[in-house]
Structure 1
Amino acid sequence: MTATEAFVAHRNLLFTVAYEMLGSAADAEDVLQETWLRWADIDLGQVRDQRAYLVRITTRLSLNRLRTVKRRREAYVGPWLPEPLLTTPDVAEDVELAESVSMALMLVLETLTPTERAVFVLREVFDFGYDEIADAVGKTPAAVRQIAHRARKHVDARRPRETVSARDTRAALESFRRALETRDLQGLLDVLAPDVVLMSDGGGVKQAALRPVVGAGKIVRFVLGGIARTDAKLTSAPTVVNGNPGLLLHLDGELDGIMAARVEGGRITGLYYVRNPEKLTHVESETPLTLR
C-alpha cells in the first residue's frame, strides 16, 4: 500500500481520534494535514504497522495542539462547547461510538489533562494496547496504566449514569421542540428535569448566557424571554448531532444554532446550544467517523 493509499484508508479513523482529543473539527482537520506531511516523508519500508504509526503521529500532534488550545479556551467568552458534527447513520447505529462523541461525554473529556484525555481516548474508545499508547504519548506502559485508571475513574464519576436509547432521546427532544415552537410553558417544564443545565456557546459573537443556566424554571424564562425579544420566526428540525438526536434551530429560515441534549429518566437533564458561527461550518454535510 502506498503512502497515499494508507492515509486515505485510515483517514476517517485519524479524524475521529483527533476530534475526540480536541473537540474541534477545524483543529482536527489541521492535525490531519500535518499528519499527512509527516507521513509523506517517512520510509514505509521501516513501518511495520501503518495504522498504528499513523495514529501515533496524529496523537502526538493532537496532544501538542490540545496544550495550546487549552490556554486559548481559558480566555473564551462564556461556556466553551465542542464543535458539533452532523454524522452519518452508521455512527448513530454504533452505540459505543455515538456515546464517545456525544456532547455530554466530550464535555467531560474537557476536564481531563491533555495526556489523560489522549490515554483515555486511545484506551477506552479505540481499545489500543498500553504499549501502543505509551509510544504515542511518550510515557512508559506502566505510567500509561496508571493514567488510564485515573482518567477512567474521573470520567466515570462525571459521565451520564445511564445509557439512553436514541429513541428515548428523540422523544424527549420532540416534546421539547413542540413546546418551544408553540411557546408552551407547561410543556417545557414537563420535559425538563428540575435540575436541568443549559450551556449556550456564542463565542462572544452571538448572544448567549455567559454562565450555565441551572433549573427548569430559569431555563424556560431564559429561552422564552430570548424568543420574545426577537420578531423572527423560530423553527426547529430534528437532526443527528455527534451520533445522537439533536435539533437544528432557524430564525426566519437562517441557521441560528445546533442543540444537543442529555436525557435521563425520560427527561432532559442537559441542553447544549452552539450558536458560535465559527462552530457551525460542519453542519452542512455529514462527517464520517469510525473506531476502526
Structure 2
Amino acid sequence: MGLLKKKQVQYILIGLVLALLPFIFGFKRATVTMLDTVVIYAIAALGFNILLGYSGQISLGHAAFMGIGAYLSAFITMELQLPFLLAILLSGVVPMLIGLLLGLVALRLEGHYLAIATLGLGVTIQHIFKEWTGFTGGFSGAKAPYASIFGYAFKSRESFFVLAIAVLVLLSIFAYHFLTSKAGRALVAMRNSEHAAKAMGVSLFKYKLIAFAVSAFYAGVAGSLYMHLIRYSDPNTWGIELSLNLLGMVVIGGLATIGGSILGAAFIVIIPELLKEIPVLGEIRSLSTILTGVALILVIRFMPYGLVRVGKQIQSKRQDRKNKSSLKQQISKP
C-alpha cells in the first residue's frame, strides 16, 4: 500500500489503464485518433502549465515550438533516415535551446509585455515555416513516416495511443520530480510573490528561463508525436489559435496541477467534437474557438481553480456554510 501512495506508481498505473481502453472497448478509428490528440495536447499543456501555472509567466507563441518539433522530427526521419527515438529527443532539445535563446530577450519583460513579445515570436516563426520551403515544404507541407521503435512501426491508432501514453507518463513523472525539487519550489515562490522570492535569494531571471526552456521541450516533443500521428503538417497548423488553445487547456483544467493539464486537453479536444453532433451547434463555424472563449470566461468567473479542483471547491463551500450555520446557532443561543 505504501508503494501505491507514490506519485510515480500512480501515474504508471493510470497510464496502463488508459492505454488498454481502446483495446477493451474497440473504439472507432476516429475516436482513437481523437484520444491520441488529447494525449499529445496534454503533453504540450503540461509543459505550458510549468511556465504559466507554476512560474506565473504567460506565452502566446508556444504553438511555434510544437511546429519546430514537428518539422524537425519529419526532417530527421524522412530526409536523414534516422531513428524515431533520436528524432523525438532532438525535437524536444532543439526547441528547448531555441527557447533559451528567445527567453534571454523575452523574459526580461513582464505581464502583458511578455505576452505581446511571445505572440510576436510565434507569428515570426510561423512565417519562417511558410518561407523555409527546403525544411518545412512551405504551404505544400511536410510528410513524416510512421513512428518506429526497434523495427516496430506504430501504424495503428491503438498502438500509437500506447506510445503517446508512455511518453505522457514519463514526462508527468519528470514534471512531478522537477516541481518538487529546489527549482520547482523556487518557481512557486516566484509565482506567489516575485519580491518575496527575490528577497529569499531566488534568481528570478534564471528560474523564469528554466521554466521557459522546459515548457519548450514539452511542446517540441508533443509536436513530434503529432507529426508522426497525422504524418503531415503545414504552417497554418502552428498559429495563434493553437497557442490560445494551450492557454485554455491550462486555465480550464487547472493551473499548477499535472492532472489539470490532462483534463483541460481532454475538454478542449473532446467537447467540441461532441457538440458537433448537435444539429444547430454543428453548423457553427469556429465552434472550437467559441467554446474555448466561453469556457475560459465561465471557469475564471465560477471555478478559478479549474475543473480538476471542482470537487474541493464544492466541499470547501459546504464547509463554509456549515461553519456559518454553526456560528449563527451559537450567537442565537441565550
The two structures have a TM-score, normalised by structure 1, of 0.27
- The structure in which a higher percent of residues are strand is 1
- The structure in which a higher percent of residues are helix is 2
Structure showing greater Rg: 2
The two structures have a TM-score, normalised by structure 2, of 0.24
- Choose between structure 1 and 2 for higher RCO, CA contacts under 8 A separated by at least 6 residues: 2
